[in-house]
């Protein structure tokens, strides 16, 4: 199942950096070291601004990282929600 498909089934919320990192840790074994580092850097950078990605957003970012979805498709998906 692709990360994009898994996004529709997931829904764990995140209210802190540690929540977001905990969600990412759940998917750690499925990510390469490079993918994990990119996601960690992204979550930490956003947390500096007080933005904490929930599980759906993390899965969407992983899908984009893996080429399952483009930025334009993400924007269209968010606008349609």
Interaxial angle between packed helices 33-48 and 55-65, expressed in degrees from 0 to 180 and rounded to the nearest 10: 130
Residue 18 is part of which domain span? 3-80
For the chain, how long is the longest CA-to-CA vector? 33
How many structural domains does the chain have? 1
What pLDDT, in 10s, does the model give residues 35-70? Answer: 999 999 999 999 999 999 999 999 999 999 999 999
Give, in order, the Cα–Cα distances in Å from 73 to each of 7, 8, 15, 51, 81. 14, 15, 26, 22, 12
Confidence at 1, pLDDT banded by 50, 70, 90 = low
The mean pLDDT of 19-36, rounded to a whole number, is 96
Q: What is the pTM assigned to this prediction?
A: 0.86
């Amino acid at each position: 199942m692709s990360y994009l498909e898994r996004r529709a089934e997931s829904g764990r919320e995140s209210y802190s950096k540690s929540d977001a990192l905990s969600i990412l840790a759940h998917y750690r074994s499925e990510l390469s070291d490079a993918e994990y580092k990119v996601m960690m850097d992204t979550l930490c950078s956003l947390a500096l601004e007080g933005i904490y990605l929930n599980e759906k957003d993390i899965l969407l970012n992983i899908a984009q990282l893996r080429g399952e979805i483009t930025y334009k498709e993400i924007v269209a998906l968010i606008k349609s929600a």
